[in-house]
Chains A and B, each alone.
Chain A
Amino acid sequence: MSDSVSMMPEHPPVTDWIRDFDHTDPAWTENPFPIWEQLRAASPVVHTERFLGCYMPTTYEAVKQVAYDTEHFSSRRIIVRDVRPEVTQPAPPITSDPPEHKPAKQLLLPPFTPDAMKKLEPRVRAICNELIDEFIDDGKCDAAERYTKHIPVRAIAHMLGIPEKDGDLFIKWIHEILELGIKDQDILMRALHEMSAYFAGHIAERKGKPTDDLITTLMNARDKDGKPLSDAHVLGSLRLLLVAGIDTTWSAIGSSLWHLAKTPADRERLVAQPELLPTAIEEFLRAYSPVTMAREVVKETTVSGCPVKPGNMVLLSFPAANRDPAMFADADKVVIDRKENRHAAFGLGIHRCVGSNLARMEMMVAIEEWLKRIPDFRLDPAGKVAWSQGTVRGPRALPILFGAG
């Protein structure tokens, strides 16, 4: 779910957040939390003329109302952009509304249950250790570049049944399709063509010679009329899994490590009490939720008493909802043993992230293995942490020092 905003024309800096918010502004990218607090204090729903008109629900209740209301809010567009071209390449189920949504989603759910993830877990554990082996003797690393970036892409490659070493190729395609491709049509078309040809090859290999992997599972799936999916549908689903499953979890693992690097008390506590990890992971998901979604208003209605009109987009910030003090006690504190945590990091309602069990398993294993091998670490004062801009928020540069010295 990378976004293209970084390649868009410069936006004027924001001076009036309440009437002119912009989630691509450098201030938001660097530290969005005080901005959300200011917006929430002003109104449960704010509006900007940017992005051809866009609302933002600022409270947990308002976000929840929009997420549950598929009558007035459509998922046909799920990214807030400067432009709103015709929807030509839907990616069901994430871009589907009822009634098409349910059958499309049910096809993808069985391979992502917690039990299915348990089978993948040993491989993810090995991936993490292979990565750590490569830099542990250096005493420092850019954890975003050397560690967190590679875990989701290799895990997905393993699930799909394609070589993990091709992960770098996926990262390249995603970058070309979602970022460079916005300005350069040739790069976009070439990357799409390369990716389609790559997967078409893997689909062809499995015809008559099925393998025990997700590509074969999708090829064997049947729609509600008992018919197999077309190659185009399988290809579309594969594209969605790659795009949605990579920089999201990369971000979530990175934010967790960032927090632990700058918070020795939490880091030491988790090293001493690893049984707290599952609860801590949920708290990192709440406090540093990576994914902001969007909806398009298709019918006039009100949200928390505020009128919303068709023609506008809605920036659906689950990260902001998760910082609402009306829903979470000490919302702006990271409490790694928080007992009650109904966070919405994976969305609410029918569009709950299909990969949530995969993401949780990857986060758990990635942090667990890191803490076992590198229990003592801190941010490198000589480096600078850099955050991604827009729809998915997480560290893209995370310089860390570890060990003695």
Chain B
Amino acid sequence: MSGKLKIHVDQDRCQGHARCKALAPELFDLDDYGNAHEHGEGRVPEGLEDKAYLAQTNCPEFAIEVIEE
């Protein structure tokens, strides 16, 4: 079940603070260096929209984009 939001982590900006993973573990994966990537294709399942915005507004590097489709 997919919602209408997509997320994307800008790899040039992400520095591995890992705030997104702490706040929205369902939406992000960390690689071996601790840098974040959107989970799967970045589709935000219905009901997790608030978590997507929470992750975005707690990223110190402004690396997370939330796209409304």
Say yes or no: is A274 at the interface (Cβ < 8 Å to chain B): no
Task: List A residues 336-387 near B (Cβ within 8 Å).
Answer: 339-344, 346, 348-350, 352, 356-357
Known: A109-B16, A109-B33. 7 other contacts (CB 8 A): A110-B32, A113-B18, A114-B30, A282-B58, A339-B57, A340-B58, A342-B59
Closest Cβ–Cβ distance, residue B10 to chain A (whole Å): 13
Give chain A's interface residues, CB within 8 Å of chain B.
Answer: 106, 109-110, 112-115, 278, 282, 339-344, 346, 348-350, 352, 356-357
Closest Cβ–Cβ distance, residue A282 to chain B (whole Å): 8
Closest Cβ–Cβ distance, residue B36 to chain A (whole Å): 10
Contact B34 A348 (CB under 8 A): no
B22: chain A residues within 8 A (beta carbon): 114, 278
Say yes or no: is B4 at the interface (Cβ < 8 Å to chain A): no
Give chain B's interface residues, CB within 8 Å of chain A.
Answer: 15-19, 21-22, 30, 32-34, 54, 57-62
Closest Cβ–Cβ distance, residue B20 to chain A (whole Å): 11
Contact A344 B54 (CB under 8 A): no
Closest Cβ–Cβ distance, residue B14 to chain A (whole Å): 10
User: What are 23 A-B interface contacts by the 8 Å CB criterion?
Assistant: A109-B16, A109-B32, A109-B34, A110-B34, A113-B18, A113-B32, A114-B22, A114-B30, A115-B30, A282-B19, A282-B58, A339-B54, A342-B57, A342-B58, A342-B59, A342-B60, A342-B62, A343-B60, A344-B60, A346-B60, A352-B15, A352-B17, A357-B18
Indicate whether A349 sits within 8 Å of B15 (C-beta atoms), given known contacts A112-B34, A113-B30, A114-B34: yes
A113: chain B residues within 8 A (beta carbon): 18, 30, 32-34
Contact B34 A357 (CB under 8 A): yes
A112: chain B residues within 8 A (beta carbon): 34
Contact B62 A114 (CB under 8 A): no
Contact A114 B61 (CB under 8 A): no
Closest Cβ–Cβ distance, residue A93 to chain B (whole Å): 12
B18: chain A residues within 8 A (beta carbon): 113-114, 356-357
B58: chain A residues within 8 A (beta carbon): 282, 340-342
Closest to A68 in B: B61
B16: chain A residues within 8 A (beta carbon): 109, 352
Closest Cβ–Cβ distance, residue A110 to chain B (whole Å): 5
